[in-house]
Amino acid sequence: MSDRPKFPLETDMMRLLSEFRLPAMPDADALAAAQRRNLEALSAANKVALEGAQAVARRHMEILQQSVSEMTQAMQGISGEATPQDKAAKQAEVLKASYGRAVSNMQEIAELIQKSNAEALAVLNRRFAEAMDEVKTLMNKASG
C-alpha cells in the first residue's frame, strides 16, 4: 500500500466495503425450475387466449351464416307482400327482429371474449402467486 495519509471518508468507505456481504446465492436449479414453470404458465395462458379467439371466430362465422340465411328468408317474405304498406310493415318487423338478434349476438361475443380473458388471466395469477411463494422459500433457504 502507499504511504499517503487516509482521509476519514476513505476510511469509512473501506470499512463499509469490508463489512458488505452479498446475499447467499439461491439454488440455481430451483431458479431454473421456477423460470420453466413461469414459461409454462405463459404458454398455457396463450393457449387459453388462442382457444378463446378461435371460439369467438367460430361463433362469429355461425352468426354471419345465420344472418345471411335469415335475411334471404326475410327478403323472400317481403317480396311476397301485395301492397307497399304491407311491404313496409314487413320490413319494419324484419329490421326490429334483426336489431334484437344483433344486440344479443354482440353480447354473446363480448361474454365469450371476457370469459377467455378471465381464464388466461387466472392462469397467470395462479403462477404469479406460486412464484412469490417460491421466491420466499428460496430466500429463506439462502439466508438460513
pLDDT tens digits, 10-40: 677 777 777 766 556 667 788 888 889 999 9
134 within some domain: yes
14 within some domain: no
- Kindly list the distances between the CA atom of residue 95 and the CA atoms of 29, 66, 71, 144, in Å, as whole numbers in the listed order: 65, 15, 10, 73
Count of the separate structural domains present in the chain: 1
**pLDDT for residue 8:** 66
Which domain covers residue 78, as residue numbers? 44-143
Over the stretch 109-136, which tens digit does the pLDDT of each residue have?
999 999 999 999 999 999 999 999 988 8
35 within some domain: no
pLDDT band at 82 (very low <50, low <70, confident <90, very high): confident
108 within some domain: yes
79 within some domain: yes
- CA–CA gap between residue 137 and residue 141 (Å, rounded): 6
125 within some domain: yes
Three-class secondary structure of residue 22 per DSSP: coil
133 within some domain: yes
- Please, what sign has the CA dihedral across residues 107, 109, 111, 113? negative
**pLDDT for residue 78:** 83
The mean pLDDT of 85-111, rounded to a whole number, is 92
**pLDDT for residue 42:** 93
103 within some domain: yes
